[in-house]
Amino acid sequence: MDAAIPTLAQAARALATGELSSVELTRACLERIERLDPSLNAFITVDAPGALAAAEQADQRRARGEANPLTGIPLAIKDLFCTKGLRTTCGSRMLEGFLPPYESTVTARLRAAGAVVLGKTNMDEFAMGSSNETSFFGPVANPWDRTRTPGGSSGGSAAAVAAGLCVASIGTDTGGSIRQPAAMTGITGLKPTYGRVSRFGMVAFASSLDQAGPMTRDIRDAAMLLQEMAGHDPMDSTAIDTPVPDYGAALERSVRGLRIGVPEEYFGEGLHPEVRAAIEQVTRVYRELGADLCPISLPMTRHAIPTYYIIAPAEASSNLARYDGIRFGHRCDQPKDLKDLYARTRAEGFGAEVKRRIMLGTYVLSSGYYDAYYRKAQRVRRLIAEDFARAFREHDLAVILTPTAPETAFRLGEKNQDPVSMYLSDIYTINVNLAGLPAASLPCGLDARGLPIGFQLIGRPLDEAAILTAGHAYQQATQWHLASPGEQP
């Protein structure tokens, strides 16, 4: 990345010392967006006037001695978070012109900390996709190779960080949508424990799986963002009411003696040899740092894809029923009657992938199929969670280490006609969401074509600190997180 756009920690130090003002930093980001984003399509909405006004307020706040580490930091927000008065589309025609009347808890907390919102980033429609190609606003290109996907659904947020269009960004993760694009764009992405971060104002795809998290250059930046994002929210019934630890302190701990599990099921057929070699090198680094690595088994892994693609579409079918052309969002022209209004509004407003998942979800919830599919999937989900719990308990593990994705970034359009192949892009990340665990993806190499490779660290429930400790130790010992794509205006 161009040194003109620093990491979050670097920017916070420069702002604190007066070396840099928030207005200067924000203008630099806006200039890069104007120059580079036409070829990336990472943003759906850019709010330059609002960002500059917020930057001026941040500088004034700092002058009064009221600043904290996020004050004046320019961020990009996935277009799935409601932002009062700023368009929120979810990458869909259905919400193309929607202006939310309220603010999500995540963005409200970041704004309260003084962060500057540059705009809203592109995404797969309603977060349904693994390549950022289902967006009504067009696909996002990978900054490392513009003929390739940045991953999805948080592809716009990932591309914006990788290309230096913002200091950091916020994404969401339902089955790997923070971690998989982080791996494909060479950045760090952290999915917290389910319930650690409020979902209020985050437009729902699958309510029992969705979770917001930071997407940053390195794990230190992720810790800084998570510190402000995490915490109980009375507006969200799924938010966990438990104290938020000092994530910064976790960065300074040693990994000597840390127990790391390596599951054999994640290294079988389908894993690209270059990705396998990179992950094996990661294990060697941890051994040199004094960590204790041990082989483990997670036998329920093979059931992850079918389980996820029953539960997630079922919840999507329910959540997306609200888009009917009556209350908000797209409405078809001149409907003949109420039935025509519903049918044509939803046919026009939703894209092909969203329709596919709504239909699948409605089917598995229907009379006669609920017990055969949905109820059985929920039972398997419990077994998947127990699989992880058993491994952590029996081997006394701090974290589990796996690949993030089976391959590096594939070409745009390569998998559009093969939904199952696209779904397999998340084969190593989906289990984590089904079990509600925290996990992060960190860069660990480049393949022969110069495309990033990522590895995944999975933690115990609410133990994001262990992931931060292990991730920071790795990044202190390596330099893959410093690698950046060349500029291609």
Pairing of strands 116-121, 74-78: parallel
Contact 187, 216 (CB under 8 A): yes
Closest CA to 342 of 363, 320, 368: 320
Per-residue model confidence (pLDDT) at position 419: 85
Per-residue model confidence (pLDDT) at position 5: 87
Residue 428 burial (10 A CB sphere; 0-12, 13-18, 19+)? buried
Alpha-carbon Rg of the chain, whole angstroms? 21
Hey, what are 19's tokens?
């070396």
The overall pTM is greater than 0.85: yes
Cα separation values, 368 from 306, 312, 321, 357, 418, Å: 19, 19, 21, 19, 28
Residue 234 burial (10 A CB sphere; 0-12, 13-18, 19+)? exposed
Contact 463, 470 (CB under 8 A): no
Q: Where are the beta strands (DSSP E) in 167-240?
A: 168-173, 188-191, 211-216
Q: What is the largest CA-CA distance in the chain?
A: 71
Residue by residue, pLDDT tens for the chain (489 residues) are: 344 689 999 999 999 999 999 999 999 999 999 999 999 999 999 999 999 999 999 999 999 999 999 999 999 999 999 999 999 999 999 999 999 999 999 999 999 999 999 999 999 999 999 999 999 999 999 999 999 999 999 999 999 999 999 999 999 999 999 999 999 999 999 999 999 999 999 999 999 999 999 999 999 999 999 999 999 999 999 999 999 999 999 999 999 999 999 999 999 989 999 999 999 999 999 999 999 999 999 999 999 999 999 999 999 999 999 999 998 999 999 999 999 999 999 999 999 999 999 999 999 999 889 999 999 999 999 999 999 999 999 999 999 999 999 999 999 999 988 888 898 889 999 999 999 999 999 999 999 999 999 999 999 999 999 999 999 999 999 999 999 997 654
Cα–Cα distance for residue pair 62/57, rounded to 1 Å: 9
Structure letter (DSSP) for residue 117? E
What residue ranges define each of the domains in the chain, with the CATH number in brackets? 8-253 (3.90.1300.10)
Cα–Cα distance for residue pair 128/293, rounded to 1 Å: 35
Per-residue model confidence (pLDDT) at position 414: 94
Cα–Cα distance for residue pair 217/205, rounded to 1 Å: 27
Per-residue model confidence (pLDDT) at position 1: 33
Closest CA to 261 of 460, 436, 444, 395: 395
Contact 60, 54 (CB under 8 A): no
Per-residue model confidence (pLDDT) at position 21: 97
Per-residue model confidence (pLDDT) at position 4: 63
Catalytic residues: 78, 153, 177
Structure letter (DSSP) for residue 242? S
Closest CA to 221 of 193, 261, 260, 182: 182
Per-residue model confidence (pLDDT) at position 488: 56
238-266 CB burial, b ≥16 within 10 A, e <16? ebbeeebeebeebbeeebeebbbbbbebb
Pairing of strands 168-173, 452-459: unpaired
Query: In sequence order, which residues have a C-beta less than 8 Å from that of residue 27 and are 6 or more positions away?
Result: 52, 55
Cα–Cα distance for residue pair 44/112, rounded to 1 Å: 24
The DSSP-derived string for 401-457 is EEESSSSSPPBTTTTTT-HHHHHGGGTTTHHHHHHT--EEEEEEEE-TTS-EEEEEE
The DSSP-derived string for 268-316 is STT--HHHHHHHHHHHHHHHHTT-EEEEE--GGGGGHHHHHHHHHHHHH
Cα–Cα distance for residue pair 77/92, rounded to 1 Å: 16
Per-residue model confidence (pLDDT) at position 109: 98
Cα–Cα distance for residue pair 258/386, rounded to 1 Å: 22
